[in-house]
Amino acid sequence: TVTFSATVTPATATVASYSWDFGPGIPPRLTTGNQVVQTFPTGSGTRTVTLTVTTTTGQSTQTQIAITP
């Protein structure tokens, strides 16, 4: 189980949603909070997690991280 937490810069940006994509076999999750907990299958190897943050003005940005749970 892994806890992910996002920080948005500048802090004055108002976030509408966080879209978390955990890779094959796990449904993506859309949240309004900046933290999510995800359990990965045993032996799933290295996974690329993609986060897309969208603001209330419609701007979005994306970042990725590779993890081995």
Identify the pLDDT of residue 68.
92
pLDDT per position as a tens digit, 37-49: 999 988 889 999 9
d(C-alpha 10, C-alpha 20), whole Å? 20
**Short-list 60, 56, 51, 49, CA closest to 26:** 49
Evaluate if pTM is beyond 0.85: yes
